[in-house]
A and B are shown apart, each in its own frame.
Chain A
Amino acid sequence: SQKIEQNSEALNIQEGKTATLTCNYTNYSPAYLQWYRQDPGRGPVFLLLIRENEKEKRKERLKVTFDTTLKQSLFHITASQPADSATYLCAYQTGANNLFFGTGTRLTVIP
């Protein structure tokens, strides 16, 4: 069955450092991956979408990579700030237009 794993449930990082979150998928070859941010009590907020033919995509302090050989996407936040603390979800779309989400990584940026 399809499976999408995010490397850790929780990640703590010092302010100013680069946070790297990992998303691995199996038994499927998605055409693209999406990353979302979710704060407590709120719905996920779309951050970035990367296609299989794009190795890297950037948006301000965010960078996403997509390695179809390793079946992995990496999500980086450079110069992390306490306000970046949230849960980050990766997701891919299955053939029928529904997004399949990982369980998320809860990032805490320590001042």
Chain B
Amino acid sequence: GAGVSQTPSNKVTEKGKYVELRCDPISGHTALYWYRQSLGQGPEFLIYFQGTGAADDSGLPNDRFFAVRPEGSVSTLKIQRTERGDSAVYLCASSLKVSGQGNYGYTFGSGTRLTVV
């Protein structure tokens, strides 16, 4: 597609439920990133994929969070047993190369606003 697509744009869920957030990156972008942004803060790194594999998952806050990218394109961020503190905007980004090679930045989607009630 023309940009990074994230669905749903909004998700309200009850505490303790399981949620899946989807990211469809720009076609051909091998690198894919998930970030979380709370109000008034900058995006906070969660996980980075190069192709199908998670190259760096050091930002995942705990084992309730998991992400996959089975075919090297679409990625799903999965959150188990959601807590109110998980409420935030979850951003996905993709890039053609590792950022810094050339003058590439990341292309972000508009995010999924997750609210846990």
Of A36, A45, A97, A104, which is within 8 A of B56 by CB? A97
Interface size class of B (residues with CB under 8 A): 20 to 34
Tell me the A34-52 residues at the B interface (CB within 8 Å): 34, 36, 41-47, 49, 51
- Most chain B CB atoms below 10 A, which of A36, A49, A97, A101: A97
A98 touches B33 (CB 8 A): yes
A98 touches B56 (CB 8 A): yes
- Say yes or no for B67: interface residue by CB 8 A criterion: no
Chain B residues within 8 Å of A, Cβ to Cβ:
4, 31, 33, 40-45, 48, 50, 55-56, 58-59, 91, 93, 98-100, 103-111
Chain A residues within 8 Å of B, Cβ to Cβ:
9, 31-32, 34, 36, 41-47, 49, 51, 89, 91, 93, 96-104
